[in-house]
Amino acid sequence: MGFQDSMPDFSATKIVKEFTTGGQQLRILDGVNVELDRGQNLAIVGPSGSGKSTFLHLAGTLDRPTSGSISLLATDVSKLTEKQLPAFRNEQVGFVFQEHHLLPQLTALENVLLPTLATGKSSQTQNDRAQELLEQVGLRDRVHHLPAALSGGERQRVAVARALINEPVLLLADEPTGSLDQENADKIGQLLLDLQAASNAILICVTHSDRLAQRFGQHVRLQNGKFVRD
Ligand SMILES: Nc1ncnc2c1ncn2[C@@H]1O[C@H](COP(=O)(O)OP(=O)(O)OP(=O)(O)O)[C@@H](O)[C@H]1O
Ligand SMILES: [Mg+2]
């Protein structure tokens, strides 16, 4: 309780993002606003090129907006220096991309543990947590498999476990089901929702699937640089 009750755990306020390429300036995001508290989730749909990935990159501090502000747990991320950002991102944000981006020479378990290397927490604790997460995503018997020895859906589940290993407050997923068949896509989508609820995190998920989007507490369409409530 206290004055921070009025401040959402995540907010993006009046976000504008412009890209200049070959002298031509394009305004991709034109005043995007969203507020989410822990435990809430949001699905973003919208046509190719509408700026969905661009928004996730800004939300995850991988890029900075042209104007507007992003705040996470009362931290205005625009105030963080280039030196502070990587540690902040590593601790507070988990990413799941369309392609799993697992390192091929590392096992499932080692891939999940990668983001913990920089945190300085005890490796036994981390190891236990990684095992537990792999179990939660249904891979208890695949812990020591290399990515090449996993199916597409299994690889994506390893990527989900990896995104959660540092207990991020913000979980960002960019078409995490894009390369999967319908059945596996639905499973990954539901898995993300379940893990987000269990960890009381915020989940923002870009998807092409209206069916998946309907399962989220909130869904918006990115259109002409703005979020339109579906
Ligand atoms: N670094 C960049 N420099 C210049 N233009 C960019 C850059 N990143 C993105 N864009 C442009 O911004 C627009 C939005 O791109 P973005 O990747 O966010 O789209 P998207 O909605 O995720 O599309 P998709 O559904 O195809 O993944 C595109 O027209 C793209 O060319
Ligand atoms: Mg995209």
Query: What CATH number does residue 176 fall under?
Result: 3.40.50.300
Residue 143 inside a domain? The answer is yes
pTM of the model: 0.93
Is residue 29 very low, low, confident or very high in pLDDT (cuts 50, 70, 90)?
very high
Residues 6+ apart with CB under 8 A from 197: 39
Number of domains in the chain: 1
Per-residue pLDDT at 3 exceeds 60: no
pLDDT digits (tens, 9 = 90+) for 37-89: 999 999 999 999 999 999 999 999 999 999 999 999 999 999 999 999 999 99
**Pick from 227, 229, 230: which is nearest to 15 by CA?**
227
**Pick from 41, 52, 44: which is nearest to 202 by CA?**
41
Residue 185 inside a domain? The answer is yes
Q: In sequence order, what E strands does 163-201 have?
A: 170-174
Residue 131 inside a domain? The answer is yes
pLDDT, residue 120, reads: 72
Residue 102 inside a domain? The answer is yes
Per-residue pLDDT at 2 exceeds 60: no
Which whole number is the average pLDDT over 169-195?
87
Distances (CA, A) of 62 to 86, 87, 225: 9, 12, 19
| Mean pLDDT for the chain overall | 92
Looking at per-residue pLDDT, the higher value among 117 and 13 belongs to 13
Determine whether the shortest distance from the Cβ of 29 to ligand 1 is under 6 A: no
pLDDT, residue 4, reads: 54
Looking at per-residue pLDDT, the higher value among 38 and 6 belongs to 38
Distance CA(57)–CA(60), nearest Å, equals 5
Q: Which range marks the domain in which residue 122 is found?
A: 39-64+80-229
Distance CA(206)–CA(106), nearest Å, equals 27
Residue nearest to atom 31 of ligand 1 (CA): 49
Which of 50, 56, 57 to mutate for ligand 1's pocket (most ligand atoms within 8 Å of CB)?
50
Distances (CA, A) of 184 to 25, 47, 113, 175, 217: 39, 23, 24, 13, 21
Determine whether the shortest distance from the Cβ of 21 to ligand 1 is under 6 A: yes
Residue 108 inside a domain? The answer is yes
Determine whether the shortest distance from the Cβ of 51 to ligand 1 is under 6 A: yes
pLDDT digits (tens, 9 = 90+) for 127-175: 999 999 999 999 999 999 999 999 988 999 999 999 999 999 999 999 8
Query: Which ligand 1 atom sits nearest the alpha carbon of residue 47?
Result: 25
Residue 74 inside a domain? The answer is no
Mapping DSSP to helix (H, G, I), strand (E, B) and coil, where does residue 86 land? helix
Q: Tell me the percentage of the chain whose pLDDT exceeds 70.
A: 98
Residue 71 inside a domain? The answer is no
Q: For the chain, what is the radius of gyration of the CA atoms?
A: 18
